[in-house]
């Protein structure tokens, strides 16, 4: 079979052949093979195939009016117009220029450039040497790339990791961390229906969660820093010359820098599931670290007491003021009753009225008896006038006395208050006194309830894990920190490398 050659056709009909085209001899065509080729030929050739068939017909001196006539004429002569071997006959090798036949009316091909020399075939030894040279070049490039990768890793990952390791192992000042835990507790809530839904959370961390968060915020505030610095010299301790430069606080540092260092040296966490506040205080001296921790626990206890102090004071002050006012009103009402009794000379108006009614009843009984006795005297034919006169005088005296007693109930003596008015004033005063006494009892009950509620609002700070100074330095953790530095620098290098590779690929594409 002839060797296939790829070529392109321009729009004007000329050919653009490769630089080196080596024609091969076309073997003689058998008649049986021609029949098979004709049968295998496509029934609907493309336009390019038809144009090539017409050029082949012109080369063989066949005049055709159309491309289809050229195909038929070539097949009648036993030439396959669609075979690549026949197409190569159109190409000449003289200077890479296509030279058509004199009678063929095909435009000459335009020269694209000088044809490249045909390379000589390589013997097996030269081929093996060339392959070895290529392999060595590939290996040399790989070694160079690996060397550059190692240099970059050593500079961007290894060197920073070594510097970090030297700092953690040899330069960093040993720091001692004192750990402590404290819990904010609440007094037991009142049992029964009066406790309400608040009793459901008593004894759990939910009851004091807000107080624990408030204490945590206070211990991390500037006020706590100022108190700790004023009492134990926090800033002075971290400004000492024995601390490494990265952890040392400059002598002329601002309060913001001191506060930032304070936040890094004092770590406080709250566990809402258990209601425990965990605190870690770091210092260069273990005893001083424990002193800092104990001072902060004391500040937390003061803050816990202040959280409910105002509520308790307000509750007690209101109840006490109400009780004092009720007591004063009761005493004033009682004094008014006493004054009325002294002014009127009556201890009890009801008693006085009952006595007068008893006297009136006795006088009426006696008056009725005298009248009956007078009637018996007058019933005689000759009554004793002396006895009748005495009886009449007695009746007149009893009637006068009865009138005086009845008038004393409503009118009274001239210049005096009637007994009815005295009784009414005493009843009003006594009723007011009874009301004031009831109000005083209610105020006393409210005062007692307020005292119980105030006691229930009290918060207690207990320290299950007291601050104890450590024996060995807690920080720095040299190996862990060095490994972390290696991972961080490796991750940064990997991200930068991937970003650079992606950007380079996007730009080159």
Find the CATH number of the domain harbouring 445.
1.10.287
Q: Are 374 and 420 within one domain?
A: yes
Would residue 503 count as lying in a domain? yes
The last residue of one of the domains, among 27, 53, 88, is 88
Would residue 349 count as lying in a domain? yes
The last residue of one of the domains, among 88, 120, 143, is 88
Q: Are 365 and 473 within one domain?
A: no
Q: Are 495 and 368 within one domain?
A: no
Q: Are 412 and 481 within one domain?
A: no
Q: Is the model's pLDDT at 466 over the cut of 80?
A: yes
Classify 253 as helix, strand or coil: coil
Would residue 144 count as lying in a domain? no
Q: Are 334 and 253 within one domain?
A: no
Handedness of CA 244, 250, 254, 255 (dihedral sign): positive
Minimum mean pLDDT among 81-95, 336-350, 394-408: which range? 81-95
The two tokens of residue 338 are: 């006493």
Would residue 348 count as lying in a domain? yes
Q: Is the model's pLDDT at 145 over the cut of 70?
A: yes
What DSSP string describes 386-438? HHHHHHHHHHHHHHHHHHHHHHHHHT-STTS--HHHHHHHHHHHHHHHHHHHH
Q: Are 341 and 424 within one domain?
A: yes
Read off the pLDDT of residues 68-85 as tens digits, 9 standing for 90 and up. 788 888 888 778 777 766
More confident residue, 461 or 181: 181
Would residue 132 count as lying in a domain? no
DSSP 8-state secondary structure symbol assigned to residue 272: T
Q: Are 366 and 426 within one domain?
A: yes
Q: Are 220 and 330 within one domain?
A: no
What is the span of the domain harbouring residue 48? 8-88
Task: Locate all alpha helices (DSSP H) within 266-418, ordered by sequence.
Answer: 286-344, 349-378, 385-410
Classify 179 as helix, strand or coil: strand
Residue count of the chain: 509
* CB neighbours of residue 70 within 10 Å: 24
Domain count, the chain: 3
The residue assigned the tokens 């002050």 is 317
Tell me if 319 sits within 8 A of 447, measured CB to CB. yes
Would residue 97 count as lying in a domain? no
Q: Are 297 and 335 within one domain?
A: no
- Is the pTM value of this prediction over 0.75? no
* Total H helices, total E strands in the chain: 15, 6
* CB neighbours of residue 218 within 10 Å: 19
Tell me if 267 sits within 8 A of 279, measured CB to CB. yes
Read off the pLDDT of residues 108-143 as tens digits, 9 standing for 90 and up. 444 444 455 566 666 788 888 888 889 999 999 999
Q: How far is CA 235 from CA 123, 144, 269, 299, 418, in A?
A: 85, 54, 23, 18, 88
Handedness of CA 151, 157, 160, 163 (dihedral sign): negative
The last residue of one of the domains, among 88, 123, 154, is 88
The two tokens of residue 40 are: 């295998």
Beta bridge partners of 475: 175
Give residue 39's pLDDT band: very low, low, confident or very high (50, 70, 90).
very low
Q: What is the mean pLDDT of the chain?
A: 77
pLDDT > 90: percent of the chain: 28
Q: Is the model's pLDDT at 195 over the cut of 70?
A: no
Query: pLDDT value at position 467?
Result: 93
Give residue 352's pLDDT band: very low, low, confident or very high (50, 70, 90).
low
Would residue 292 count as lying in a domain? yes
Query: Cα separation of 263 and 473, whole Å?
Result: 20
Query: pLDDT value at position 486?
Result: 95
Quick one: average pLDDT of 173-191?
A: 81
Q: Are 293 and 335 within one domain?
A: no
Cis peptide leading into residue 386 (ω within 30°): no
Quick one: average pLDDT of 457-464?
A: 81
Beta strands in 164-275 (DSSP E): 176-186, 266-271
Q: Is the model's pLDDT at 30 over the cut of 80?
A: no
Q: Are 484 and 449 within one domain?
A: no
The residue assigned the tokens 């610095």 is 229
Q: Are 281 and 343 within one domain?
A: no
Query: Cα separation of 67 and 507, whole Å?
Result: 49
Would residue 335 count as lying in a domain? yes
């Amino acid at each position: 079979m002839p060797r296939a050659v790829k070529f392109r056709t321009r729009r004007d009909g000329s050919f653009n052949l490769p630089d080196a085209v080596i024609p091969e001899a076309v073997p003689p065509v058998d008649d049986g093979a021609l029949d098979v080729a004709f049968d295998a030929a496509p029934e609907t050739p493309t336009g390019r195939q038809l144009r090539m068939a017409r050029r082949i017909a012109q080369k063989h001196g066949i005049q055709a009016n159309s491309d289809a006539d050229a195909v038929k004429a070539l097949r009648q002569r036993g030439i396959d117009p669609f075979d690549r071997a026949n197409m190569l006959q159109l190409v000449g090798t003289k200077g890479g220029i296509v030279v058509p036949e004199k009678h063929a009316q095909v435009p000459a091909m335009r020269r694209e450039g000088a044809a490249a020399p045909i390379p000589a075939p390589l013997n097996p030894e030269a081929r093996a040497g060339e392959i070895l040279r290529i392999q060595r070049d590939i290996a040399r490039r790989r070694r160079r790339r690996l060397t550059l990768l190692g240099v970059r890793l050593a500079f961007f990952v290894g060197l920073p990791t070594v510097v970090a390791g030297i700092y953690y192992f040899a330069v960093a000042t040993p720091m001692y961390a004192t750990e402590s835990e404290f819990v904010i507790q609440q007094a037991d809530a009142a049992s029964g229906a009066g406790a309400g839904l608040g009793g459901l959370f008593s004894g759990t961390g939910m009851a004091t969660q807000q107080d624990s968060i408030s204490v945590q915020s206070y211990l991390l505030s500037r006020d706590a820093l100022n108190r700790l610095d004023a009492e134990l010299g926090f800033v002075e301790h971290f400004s000492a010359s024995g601390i490494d430069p990265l952890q040392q606080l400059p002598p002329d540092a601002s309060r913001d820098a001191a506060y930032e260092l304070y936040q890094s040296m004092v770590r406080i966490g709250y566990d809402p599931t258990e209601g425990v506040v965990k605190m870690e205080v770091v210092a260069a001296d273990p005893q001083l670290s424990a002193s800092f921790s104990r001072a902060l626990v004391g500040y937390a206890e003061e803050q816990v007491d202040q959280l409910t102090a105002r509520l308790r004071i307000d509750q007690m002050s209101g109840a006490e003021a109400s009780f004092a006012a009720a007591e004063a009103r009761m005493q004033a009402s009682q004094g008014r009753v006493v004054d009325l009794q002294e002014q009127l000379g009556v201890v009890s108006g009801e008693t006085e009225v009952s006595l007068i009614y008893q006297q009136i009843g006795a006088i009426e009984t006696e008056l009725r008896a005298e009248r009956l006795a007078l009637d018996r005297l007058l019933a005689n034919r000759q009554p004793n006038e002396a006895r009748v006169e005495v009886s009449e005088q007695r009746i007149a005296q009893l009637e006068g006395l009865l009138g005086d007693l009845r008038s004393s109930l409503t009118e009274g003596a001239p210049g005096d208050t009637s007994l009815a008015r005295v009784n009414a004033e005493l009843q009003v005063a006594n009723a007011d006194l009874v009301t004031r006494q009831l109000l005083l009892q209610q105020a006393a009950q409210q005062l007692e309830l307020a005292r119980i509620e105030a006691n229930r609002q009290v918060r207690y700070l207990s320290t299950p894990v007291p601050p104890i100074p450590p024996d060995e330095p807690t920080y720095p953790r040299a190996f862990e920190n060095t490994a972390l530095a290696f991972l961080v620098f490796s991750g940064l290098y990997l991200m930068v490398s991937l970003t650079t590779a992606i950007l380079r690929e996007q730009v080159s594409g």
